[in-house]
Chains A and B, each alone.
Chain A
Amino acid sequence: MTTILFIEQVLNGLQFGVMLFLMAAGLTLVFGVMGLINLAHGSLYMVGAFAAATVAAATGSFLLGLIASLAAAAMAGAIVEIVVIRRLYRRDHLDQVLATFALILIFSEGTRWLFGSFPLYLDIPAMLSGSVTLPGGIQYPLYRLFIIGMGLGVAAFLFWLISRTRLGIQIRAGEADREMIGALGVDISKLYTVVFALGAALAGMAGALVGAIQSVEVGMGEPVLILAFVTIIIGGIGSIKGAFVGALLVGLIDTLGRTMLPIAFGTVMEASAATTVGSALASMLIYILMAGVLIARPQGLFGAAA
């Protein structure tokens, strides 16, 4: 495997990881602050993608589509929070999981009813299409670099938000002691809605960004959701830093694994067996990593020690 190919895969892994981070950050924020597991997070990813595709197709502007994705996902998130999620904060995790699973069904079938079963397409804007030549002579799609940039930018924004703003203080305090911040006069309901909508917006944005390189279809969110769960387990629930590190780890290991394992097995087996075994193992790689974390450090890399 050439260096160029390797670097390309590293960049792909980074791009994947950064998108996972957007999903995982929202999930971990909601869990850290509100103590709620939200399975419908993948639906919000899907809502963002569909909003972006629809608006971009109607207006011809990717930028408008992106803004629409944020707005639509945040709004959907806020509505869902007010109507359903609010009733779940005091419930046990089983109820939260079931109720948000019910939301997945409603969102998925609802979207299918509105848009049909065929995927929508979201085009990469002309400004961002094509490849860039990186140092070392590597040709890499500009759009993917854009995604990496956006993801890192959002990460930086989140870190700033959490550590420098009043909202961030409320979030951190809420994570530490939920009952106390109510007693201190913080409007809990509003805080929770804001946090939920923020998480939703992040998911929606990820959906929109990825929608341009994959297709926009019903059910696109759940595989990403599950990977986000893996990320959170590895990184530690409630920790944005953990979500970031975990996401990059998962993104890199999964991407690199898929290309490198078949090649590695190819050195000891003949080609078709190597591909089969290699890709089968590669598909399990991050779960094996997750299993390892569960054994060695069950609270996650950056989670609070039990």
Chain B
Amino acid sequence: MRRETIINAALAIGLLAIPLWAHVTGEIFTITLATRVAILALAAVGLNLALGLGGLVSFGHAAYFGLGGYAMGILAFHAQTFDPIFTWPFVFEGTSQMLVIWGVALVVSGLAAALIGMLTLHTSGAYFIMATLAFGQMFYYLFVSWPKYGGEDGMSIYVRNDFPGLNTLDPIQFFLICYVLLMAGIFVSWRIARSPFGLALKASRQNAERVETVGITPFRIRLAAFVISGMITGLAGALMADLNRFVGPTMFSWQTSGEIMILVILGGVARLYGPVAGAALFILLEHWLGGVSDYWLAFVGALLLLVVLFARGGLIGSLAGREVAHD
């Protein structure tokens, strides 16, 4: 069995076992940490699709994370106040059902990704990075100046949303929801990578001109990938809002975009479980280093710098070695 597969299995099992163990021993905080890992990993799974497979350096993925979060926030807010969001062309009331919220989060972030993708994917590398960064920030300023939904201070949501048949306030049950969604995201990622679409996407990253001469349009492939990528990250945003019972404009900020990107890079770009490894590493650093020093982010920066300069494969790349040619 390939080394990478073993590492992936270890990560999947570890991420499940640790919170289950914490549930047994009553350590709620560990479950919360694990939930954060799962949610951040899902956000990174989304980015990894565009970035790792497609080579699309989106530095504005926080836009979708935030939109997913605010989809939850706005729906829950209107559910709490019993005041419909709009009444024309049909009555759209708030809801606190997770399944509905997730659906809305997926649709909204997908639409945003489609729009931003259409505007930016025609441009070359440098412009693309700057433009995606700028559009992410645009959402930040937009929501800062929207007092109805909290403006700069954001909104607190007083309830955790409902999932049929489960007690979502129970930390382990909420964790399991997030874990299942993470595994689903990874599964989707895996299937896409092996599919004809994935082949075309990976080819477009390496040689777009060649791809055209075999009759495939790189722009459309990339756009589709970008939309799927945004949707997955958007779903993560909705989950994060649920976990924290809070949404704020910082979910859209360039810092958040950078954070999601760090997760992908630390774990290993284009690696299937890279996001999980990266998220786990990041949360561990936040927890341990953060306890030691207020300036722990500087160390994360230094680590990132070292990884970029000397260990480009990230955690999984360093452990599993270079990918070998295979059919």
Q: How far is the CA of A89 from the CA of B298 in the complex (A)?
A: 23
Asked if A156 is at the interface (CB within 8 A of a chain B CB), the reply is no
Residue pair A110, B141 in contact (C-beta under 8 Å): no
Contact with A along B295-327 (1 / 0, CB 8 A): 111101110110011001000000000000000
Judging by beta carbons under 8 Å apart, are B120 and A101 in contact? no
Which one of A99, A102, A103, A294 contacts B120 once the chains associate, using CB atoms below 8 Å? A294
Q: How far is the CA of A241 from the CA of B123 in the complex (A)?
A: 21
Knowing A237-B126, A284-B138 are in contact, say whether A222-B254 is a contact too (CB < 8 A).
Answer: yes
The answer to whether A37 and B129 touch across the interface, beta carbons within 8 angstroms, is: yes
- Pairwise interchain contact B127-A103, C-beta atoms closer than 8 A: no
B251 nearest CB across to chain A (Å):
16
B75 interface residue, CB < 8 Å from A?
Answer: no
B130 CB within 8 Å of chain A: yes
B276 to chain A, nearest CB (A): 19
Contact B123 A101 (CB under 8 A): no
Given A237-B127, A298-B127, check contact A99 B297 (CB 8 Å).
Answer: no
A82 interfacial by beta-carbon distance below 8 Å:
no
Contact B254 A287 (CB under 8 A): no
Q: Is the Cβ of B131 less than 8 Å from the Cβ of A226? A: no
- Cβ contact of A98, chosen from B126, B265, B302, cutoff 8 A: B265
Smallest CB–CB gap between B285 and chain A, Å? Answer: 12
Inter-subunit contact B302/A97 (CB<8 Å)? no
Asked whether B126 lies within 8 Å of A294 as measured between CB atoms, the reply is no
- The reply to whether the CB of B258 lies closer than 8 angstroms to some CB of chain A is yes
Q: Does A94 contact B (CB under 8 A)?
A: yes
A232: Cβ under 8 A from any B Cβ: yes
Assuming A290-B131, A290-B134, A294-B131, is B295 touching A102 (CB within 8 A)? no
Q: Does the CB pair A93–B142 fall under 8 Å?
A: no
Asked if residues B309 and A99 are in contact (CB atoms below 8 Å), the reply is yes
Interface SS of chain A: helix
- Interface status of A5 (Cβ within 8 A of chain B): no
> Which of B55, B144, B261 is within 8 Å of A101, CB to CB?
B261
| Closest chain A CB from B247 CB (angstroms) | 17
Chain A residues in 8 Å Cβ range of B144? 283
Q: Please tell me if the beta carbons of B145 and A280 are within 8 angstroms of each other in the complex.
A: yes
Decide if A229 is an interface residue (CB 8 Å cutoff). yes
Q: Which residues of B contact A237 (CB under 8 A)?
A: 126-127
Q: How far is the CB of A226 from chain B (nearest CB, A)?
A: 5
Which of chain A's residues has its CB closest to B131's CB? A233
| Most B C-beta atoms less than 10 A away, residue of A31, A84, A92, A298 | A298
**Closest B residue, CB atoms, query A278:** B145
**A87, B126: Cβ atoms under 8 Å?**
no
Chain A residues contacting B191 (CB-CB under 8 Å) are none
Number of residues on chain B facing chain A (CB within 8 A): 46
A291 interface residue, CB < 8 Å from B?
Answer: yes
Say yes or no for A230: interface residue by CB 8 A criterion: yes
Question: By the criterion CB–CB under 8 Å, are B59 and A97 in contact?
Answer: yes
Residues in B whose Cβ lies below 8 Å from that of A283: 138, 141-142, 144-145
B288: interface (CB < 8 Å): no
Identify which of B55, B59, B265, B300 contacts A105 (C-beta below 8 A).
B300
Within A72-129, the residues touching B (CB, 8 Å) are 84, 87, 92-95, 97-99, 101-106, 108-110, 112-113
List the A side residues contacting B135 at CB < 8 Å: 287, 291
Q: Mark B107-149, 1 if CB is under 8 A from A, else 0.
A: 0000000000001101111110111011101100110111110
Q: Which residue of A lies closest to B258 (CB)?
A: A101
8 closest A-B pairs by beta carbon, nearest first, are A105-B301, A109-B298, A283-B141, A229-B130, A287-B138, A102-B304, A102-B305, A109-B295
Task: For the A-B complex with A99-B308, A105-B297, A109-B295 known, give 13 more contacts whose Cβ atoms are closer than 8 Å.
Answer: A92-B125, A93-B125, A102-B304, A105-B300, A109-B296, A112-B295, A222-B254, A226-B133, A229-B130, A283-B142, A287-B135, A294-B119, A298-B123
